[in-house]
Structure 1
Amino acid sequence: MGSVEGAEAVLEAFGRHLRLQRNLSPHTVRAYLGDVTSLLAHLQQHDVALTDLDLTVLRSWLVGQQRRGMSRSTLARRVAAVRTFCTWAARAGHLSTDVGARLRSPRPDRHLPVVLGVEDAAGLLGTAEERARDDDPVHLRDWAALELLYATGVRVSELVGIDVDDLDDAERTVRVRGKGDKERVVPFGLPALRAVTAWRERGRPRLGNPASGPALFLGARGGRLDPRTLRGVLHRLTAVAGVHDLAPHGLRHTAATHLLAGGSDLRTVQEVLGHSSLATTQRYTHVTPERLRAAYTQAHPRA
Structure 2
Amino acid sequence: MRPAELNRLTVQESADRYVELVRAKTSTGALSPATAEVYARDVATFVRLAGEEVVLDDLTGEDLDAVLLAFARKPDGRRAEPDGRLQSASSQARFRRSVSAFFKHAALAGWVQVDPMTSSTVTARERGGLAAQRRALTREQAQGLVGAARLLGAPGGQAAEPSTGPGGRRVRRDQRTELRDALIVLLLTAVGPRVSELVRANVEDFYTNDGVRYWRIFGKGGRTRDVPLPDDVARTLEGYLAHGRPATQEKALLLSWRGRRLARGDVQAVIDRVQRWVEDDRRRSVTPHGLRHTTATHLLADAVDMDAVRRVLGHSDLATLGRYRDELPGELEVAMRSHPLLRPPGRGGAGSSPAAAPPSPAAGPPEGPVSVAEQDRRPL
Compute the TM-score of the two structures, normalised by the length of structure 2: 0.46
Superposed, 1:15-54 pairs within 5 Å as none
- Give 2:203's aligned residue: 164
Q: Deviations over 1:15-59 (max 9, x none)?
A: xxxxxxxxxxxxxxxxxxxxxxxxxxxxxxxxxxxxxxxxxxxxx
2:336 to 277, 290, 293: 293
- Give 1:154's aligned residue: 193
Q: Distance in 1 between matches of 2:178 and 2:198?
A: 17
Deviation at 1:221, TM superposition (A): 1.8
Q: Distance in 2 between matches of 1:186 and 1:168?
A: 10
Q: Distance in 1 between matches of 2:194 and 2:341?
A: 34
1:185 to 181, 201, 226: 226
Secondary structure of 1:176 counterpart: strand
- Give 2:294's aligned residue: 254
Describe the shift of the 1:297–1:122 C-alpha distance in structure 2 as closer, same or farther (beyond 3 A): same
Gaps of 5+ in 2: 1-124, 161-172, 343-348, 351-380
Secondary structure of 1:168 counterpart: strand
Q: Distance in 2 between matches of 1:269 and 1:153?
A: 10
Describe the shift of the 1:290–1:268 C-alpha distance in structure 2 as closer, same or farther (beyond 3 A): farther
Q: Deviations over 1:164-219 (max 9, x none)?
A: 12112422221001111210111221110111111000011xx2323x1x211112
Name the % identity.
Answer: 36
Deviation at 1:145, TM superposition (A): 1.4
As a proportion of its length, which structure holds more helix? 1
Alignment check: 8 A CA contact 2:134 2:287 kept: no
Q: Deviations over 1:229-262 (max 9, x none)?
A: 1111112322441311001111111111111111
Describe the shift of the 1:282–1:222 C-alpha distance in structure 2 as closer, same or farther (beyond 3 A): same
Matched, 1:138 2:181: no
1:227 to 264, 270, 276: 264
Alignment check: 8 A CA contact 1:114 1:253 kept: yes
Q: Distance in 1 between matches of 2:127 and 2:341?
A: 43
Q: Distance in 2 between matches of 1:289 and 1:113?
A: 22
- Give 1:209's aligned residue: 248
Q: Distance in 2 between matches of 1:160 and 1:298?
A: 46
Describe the shift of the 1:69–1:163 C-alpha distance in structure 2 as closer, same or farther (beyond 3 A): closer
Q: Which consecutive aligned stretches of 4+ in structure 1 deviate over 6 angstroms post-superposition?
A: none
Compute the TM-score of the two structures, normalised by the length of structure 1: 0.56
Secondary structure of 1:175 counterpart: strand
Q: Distance in 1 between matches of 2:288 and 2:276?
A: 14
- Give 1:173's aligned residue: 214
Describe the shift of the 1:153–1:291 C-alpha distance in structure 2 as closer, same or farther (beyond 3 A): farther
Alignment check: 8 A CA contact 2:136 2:326 kept: no
Alignment check: 8 A CA contact 1:173 1:186 kept: yes
Alignment check: 8 A CA contact 2:152 2:178 kept: yes
Deviation at 1:147, TM superposition (A): 1.1
Counterpart of 1:192, as a letter, is V
Matched pairs, number: 191
Secondary structure of 1:271 counterpart: helix
Deviation at 1:129, TM superposition (A): 3.3
Alignment check: 8 A CA contact 1:235 1:247 kept: no
